[in-house]
Structure 1
Amino acid sequence: MHSDVIKISDKDIKKPKGKVFVVYFSSISNNTHRFMDKLDVSDARIPYELNQELIVDKEYVLITPTYAGGGGDTKGAVPAQVIKFLNNENNRHLCRGVIASGNTNFGDTFAIAGPIISKKLNVPLLYQFELLGTQNDVESIRKILEDFWGEK
């Protein structure tokens, strides 16, 4: 995990209520979309087109890819579509945690969108995975989400 990950005490974490719900963004490569198909949880996709909008009405965990080129450069790491989605106060308020994907080839900026969003929203960074994720990532994230929501 990146050094910018904030530590949030258990008492400060806002646990979501209701059923597991994920909001995610996937670029035209559809890597995150394919991962979500394997995860098989209730979800909503942030539109790729910036002129389209998604408004949510329930608590969620955000899953986002990272756009950054390594070498410590974090400019543009969080996709513009995710920024637009989170600029909506209601959407931002309902976010309870973040999961990020990335490419380990980019070294210190691997999945850096997660720590950036975690710090900005003061929500926990729940997990980071590479590219399409492995079956182990799918199982780990499913368990993390179930535990986070208190489902068994």
Structure 2
Amino acid sequence: MKKIYLVYISLSGNTQSFVRRLTSYLQFQSDMEVEEVHVKDLVKEDIPFYALDAPCVAFLPTYLEGGNGVDNGDTEILTNPLGDFIAHAGNDQRCLGVVGFGNRNFNHQYCLTAKQYSQRFGFPVLDEVELRGLNNDLERVGKKILGLLENE
């Protein structure tokens, strides 16, 4: 049986809601084992980071300091522990890509953190989702993940 980790950080609950619905979707569409890793919980419970033993996909919201994301305000805040987890023990080599979350009202800053992770770690931005995402977002992302695992 194939396994995948859905590694994420959620501060407002939007990303967590999507990941939980995506877990159900992936389990319904396949016999895959899906394990959610909420990095915020690891930090809060003082659980040490660990090496993943299967592929993962990262999910993260965009929280940046003020500005417009072009000239200023493109520095990630609040989600840094997710980057630390991905960088830990070669987890970045197991990461198939990142899905960014944001609010389209923020224009250039929309999903900018996901784009920064893509550049930093060298994996693709698989998709972008606004706020909690709609059912068509869930299905689109789920199909992309299943397709990536088919080729593993």
Interval containing the TM-score (normalised by the shorter chain): 0.7 to 0.9
Inter-partner Cα distance in structure 1 for 2:130 and 2:112: 12
The match for 2:2 is 18
The alignment status of 1:38 with 2:34, answered yes or no, reads: no
Compute the displacement of 1:101 (Å).
0.6
**1:21-42 C-alpha deviation (Å, 9 max, x unpaired):** 3222212x22111111211241
Compute the displacement of 1:93 (Å).
2.2
Which ranges of structure 1 fall in alignment gaps of 5 or more residues? 1-16
The alignment status of 1:142 with 2:142, answered yes or no, reads: yes
Among all aligned residue pairs of Structure 1 and Structure 2, give the percentage whose two residues are the same amino acid: 27
Q: Write the letter of the residue equivalent to 2:21.
A: K
User: Any conservation in 1 of the 2:100–2:128 contact (CA below 8 Å)?
Assistant: yes
Q: Secondary structure at the match of 2:132?
A: coil
* Bigger relative contact order (CA 8 A; separation at least 6): 1
Equivalent residues in 2 for 1:1-152, closer than 5 Å: 18-27=2-11, 29-39=12-22, 40=24, 41=26, 42-48=34-40, 49=43, 51-55=46-50, 56-68=52-64, 69=66, 71-72=68-69, 73-76=73-76, 79-150=79-150
Inter-partner Cα distance in structure 1 for 2:67 and 2:134: 22
Compute the displacement of 1:78 (Å).
7.0
Large movers: runs of 4+ above 6 Å: none
Inter-partner Cα distance in structure 1 for 2:123 and 2:39: 23
Q: CA distance change for structure 1 residues 126 and 91 in 2, over 3 Å: closer, same or farther? A: same
Bigger helix share? 2
TM-score (normalised: structure 2): 0.77
User: Any conservation in 1 of the 2:3–2:55 contact (CA below 8 Å)?
Assistant: no
Inter-partner Cα distance in structure 2 for 1:101 and 1:77: 14
Q: Write the letter of the residue equivalent to 1:53.
A: P
RMSD: 2.2
Size of the aligned set, in residue pairs, is: 134
**1:4-37 C-alpha deviation (Å, 9 max, x unpaired):** xxxxxxxxxxxxx93443222212x221111112
